Amino acid sequence: MSYLKSAALAERGFVILDGYDQSADPMEWHELTFVDWKSSGDTRFAPLASAKGEIEVDGFWNHTPPRTDKDGVWIDSQVEKAPRLTARAKEPGVNVGRCRVIELQPNHYADALYNLHQDDNNRLNPDGTGWIVRAFFNLTDDPDSCLILREDRFNPAGEIRIPLPAGAQVIVDTQRFWHAVWQKGPEPRYCLITSWESGPMLDSYIAKYHGTTENTDIPLDQTVIDEAQALVHRRLSERSAALTAPADLED
């Protein structure tokens, strides 16, 4: 057995859908209740669906009983405030796990590289069912910011930098890619992030919105990349030195 994966995502691990007309929508995310949750950078989250329908954003595997990132429970008080965001998350008709709006404060390219991580969406996902992927719907207009994707955490070759204007819609296999967002600011970025189960219904949705792997990267000078890469290595080695230092050295 193996997981059911989307053919549209198999080639490059991500797919970009038609842009959404975000300008026609009310800014529902400003009405939501956010909780502090440090993820990749200085972040807060407003869950629409969580493990048990409570306003918290922990992985479903950290609950009792632990389970994979499926069968998210919609949070009535949040859904009432964000009916359009909820409708967008439900539109494909597939199983939804975690669904939340992320708020990300501005950062630097080197911060984003430092924050690169792989998700663990498919922990406890039963073999033979659909592979869990993530939808990113950018809500604020951040055309100079980007979602960074890397197959190899420390190798900038082949880095993908997907621009994030308002209404950008991207589906990513976030367990395959190292990923993080570079938010240039000056305002925070808001994005609806939803865990979806792959399968024929998701494939139909991707086809309906003309999913493509064609992407024009945010341009970036090689010198900037090299300097940021060096800075990240330095920060990581400083952190590991701090973690292995004897406790009495911290006085």
Rg (alpha carbons) of the chain, rounded to whole number: 18
Listed ranges 41-49, 61-69, 98-106, 111-119: which one lies at the site for Fe ion (CB under 5 A): 111-119
Q: Residue 34's Cα: distance from chain center in Å? A: 17
Closest approach, Cβ 39 to Fe ion, in A, equals: 7
Of 198, 172, 68, 59, which Cα lies nearest the Cα of 126? 68
Q: Which is nearer to Fe ion, 79 or 232 (CB)?
A: 232
- Selection from 6, 4, 3 nearest residue 206 by Cα: 6
If the CB atoms of residues 59 and 199 are measured against Fe ion, the closer one turns out to be 59
What is the size of the binding site for Fe ion (CB under 5 A)? 2
- In angstroms, give the least distance from the CB of 241 to Fe ion: 26
Torsion angles phi and psi, residue 190, rounded to 5: -120, 140
Distance CA 48, CA 33 (A): 9
Q: Select the residue whose beta carbon is closest to Fe ion and give its number.
A: 119
CB of 193 to Fe ion, least distance (A): 8
**What amino acid occupies position 50?**
S
CB of 2 to Fe ion, least distance (A): 23
Select 12 or 134, whichever has its Cβ closest to Fe ion. Answer: 134
The rounded distance, in Å, linking the Cα atoms of 60 and 76 is: 19
In the bound state with Fe ion, the residue whose beta carbon lies nearer, of 34 and 79, is 34
CB of 104 to Fe ion, least distance (A): 11
Residue with token string 């993908």? 160
| Residues 117 to 146 in contact with Fe ion, rule: CB under 5 A | 119
CA-CA distance, 70 to 133, in Å (whole number)?
A: 11
Which one of the spans 13-21, 70-78, 170-178, 241-249 is the region binding Fe ion (CB under 5 A)?
170-178
- Structure tokens given for 71: 């069968």
Shorter beta-carbon distance to Fe ion: residue 122 or 174 = 174
Residue ranges that bind Fe ion, judged by CB under 5 A: 119, 174
